[in-house]
Structure 1
Amino acid sequence: MTLTSYNIARTFLAFGLLITLIFNSNYTLFGYDILHLNNPVFDYNFYYILREHLVLAKILSIIILLIVISGYFPRYSGILHWYITYSFFMSSDVADGGDHIASNITLLLIPLTLLDNRKNHWSHQIVSQGNLKLYLMNSIYFLIAIQICAIYLHAFIGKLFVEEWKNGTAIYYWMTHNHFGINPIFKDFATQLLSNKFIVIIISWSTLALEFLLASCIILSQSNKKRYIFLFSGILFHFGIMLIHGLVSFFFIMSAALFIYLMPKHSQFSLNQLKNKKIWKQFINQFLH
């Protein structure tokens, strides 16, 4: 099994939607009425077509997402993956910005999946210099990079106009919010943490700094090792958001985006390499020097 930004991202995107479909009822996802969009394009929405059989629609969606995760037949599963992701974003009552991002990325990945003639996307990938797939991959990854950069830059700039973010108290209000606040499991710990104003300010401003730095990563060269530092930092950042606010699918979607954005396009790692302790030591030493 070979790990690349391409197959990791496809898997994370599919898994994010998969757990949303499995752990939520049809009423939670779509409400009583799925006819809430007055748009001709909506007539071709998967969940609209099967609006009288949403259980069947959910089962078929889960099967398609499992196929994507398994890695088999990417040439055919790529379009289906986008179709299911886009249909969910357009029709679900609980779709958020993460689902919008997933819809855009799966759409942009379609050309790569169509050119992927492997039986399984987890197998070793050979991309020859100068061929069409290499140019297409570079172009698509650049388009996705611009979008992810814009997301973090917009999040950073938008917060600068909010007084609570400027004075460093925003994290306190978010964590104590009645609906979006911290998970009750961590409530006692959070109460003690938030009682220190300096910690609250540090967390708030660190969030701003990280979002700005992640947006700035678009200027890093593909060979720059700092990409991995920001990749791990971004994933830890969204993992923290998942623990605090319960945004599980959002974590997987943003992690997928970060892998495409920050993991070098042509990097490939086998599981045997990842099990080798020497490689991890060399990897860590590169950051320390």
Structure 2
Amino acid sequence: MSAKRIGAGPVLLSGPVRRLERSVRHFQAESRALGTGRTIIALAQASILLLTPASYLFVPVGGAETEVSCTPPVQSISLYCLAESTDRQLLNVVLLLLLLIVASGILPRFTTVLHFWASLSIGQSISLPDGGDAVAQVVTFFLILACANDRRTWHWQRPRDAGPMGSAGQIRQGLAWAGWWGVRLQVAYVYLNSALAKLPVGPWSEGSATYYVARMENFGAAGLLAELFRWATGIMVVALLSTWGTILAETLIAVFLVQRGSRQVWAALISASLHVLIIIQIGIVSFGLIMVGAVICAASRGIDTQGPSLLRRFLPSEDHHRLRPPRH
């Protein structure tokens, strides 16, 4: 009896191992949806450097220019530390050009390294980072792995058949699979953590958070629709729905991202809708675009495989032949 139990161990393990091996082998490492997410993140970061002078990113304290922390090993590799004596506005231009190269989609296997370095330089060095900068650092790190087996010249090109792979290709394929899962789990955690953190907070649990947010002096509703949002959130039902709806949307994004197929597409759609509404109401454009781009990266496989079939439901029949899922 004991011998049978001992011998049964590898048999019991072989099923999950085989499924894992099959999942890695059939994983589509080349993805236009993932490329779209990368481009959105890079353009959002580029907008910060393009529209914000260095004097606003490195806030003066006591009349002197803010010192950049260059603690090794992470912060010391920031561009602002490696070129510490160079004018920071010039360094902003250098990072801006790097991000535009990344956004173009050229050589995704290699430009992901530049993207992570630019994200780290921004997030670790500027004086006034926001949550989007932190998310971009983590996501772009995993994108180095996720694009390890992307052999295309541009990430806008149609994915190719993987074909037979040598040992090096198999390693890169495994890294790509692990990197995509890293993005997927990390982004799902960010949204779930955000939703759960709101529950114990009085205004969120009571349903009045958006009422107060719309009326904050420095972070409230702004722009042409400011008065409309302040008026709308003054209606109890609207305030309740928008407050609890935010928590529900974040929870659904997190749950859908760890599920298969069309659920990932819905995660991307919910994220885009949520952040577009936040952008219209209170601004924070770069943060919203970074989060939308991160969700698209996390949901890229579902978008690639299920996106065309979902679009067919809303397009005339003569346009259906243009929408074909990627080859595997």
TM > 0.5 fold call: yes
CA distance in 2, matches of 1:238, 1:63: 26
- In structure 1, stretches of 5+ residues that fail to align are 283-289
For residue 95 of structure 2, the aligned residue among 55, 61, 70 is 61
> 1:138: how far off?
2.3
Match of 2:196 in 1: 157
CA distance in 1, matches of 2:121, 2:236: 44
Report which stretch shifted further, 198-207 or 187-196.
187-196
Checking the alignment, whether the CA contact within 8 Å between 2:148 and 2:175 is kept in structure 1 is no
Match of 1:242 in 2: 279
Checking the alignment, whether the CA contact within 8 Å between 1:5 and 1:265 is kept in structure 2 is no
User: Aligned-residue CA RMSD in angstroms?
Assistant: 2.7
What is the DSSP-based 3-state SS (H/G/I as helix, E as strand, rest coil) of the residue aligned with 2:304? coil
Match of 1:145 in 2: 184
Count of residue pairs the alignment pairs up:
277
For residue 37 of structure 1, the aligned residue among 69, 74, 96 is 69
Q: Check if 1:81 corresponds to 2:124.
A: no
Amino acid across the alignment from 1:21: L
Distance 1:171 1:54, change over 3 A: same
Identity %: 22
CA distance in 2, matches of 1:9, 1:190: 29
Amino acid across the alignment from 1:47: Y
> 1:62: how far off?
1.6
Distance 1:48 1:278, change over 3 A: farther
- In structure 2, stretches of 5+ residues that fail to align are 1-29, 322-328
Q: Check if 1:263 corresponds to 2:300.
A: yes
Checking the alignment, whether the CA contact within 8 Å between 1:141 and 1:261 is kept in structure 2 is yes
Length-normalised TM-score, structure 1: 0.86
> 1:120: how far off?
1.6
> 1:219: how far off?
3.9
Checking the alignment, whether the CA contact within 8 Å between 1:127 and 1:134 is kept in structure 2 is no
What is the DSSP-based 3-state SS (H/G/I as helix, E as strand, rest coil) of the residue aligned with 2:69? coil
CA-to-aligned-CA distance 1:216-240 (integer Å, 9 cap, x gap): 114422x3x2332332121010111
What is the DSSP-based 3-state SS (H/G/I as helix, E as strand, rest coil) of the residue aligned with 2:290? helix
Distance 1:68 1:36, change over 3 A: closer
Length-normalised TM-score, structure 2: 0.76
Which structure 2 residues correspond to residues 174-253 of structure 1 after superposition, within 5 A? Answer: 174-221=213-260, 223=261, 225-253=262-290
Q: Max radius of gyration: which structure?
A: 2
CA-to-aligned-CA distance 1:237-263 (integer Å, 9 cap, x gap): 011111112111112111111112223
Q: RCO greater where, 1 or 2, for CA within 8 Å and sep 6 or more?
A: 1
Checking the alignment, whether the CA contact within 8 Å between 1:14 and 1:68 is kept in structure 2 is yes
Match of 2:206 in 1: 167
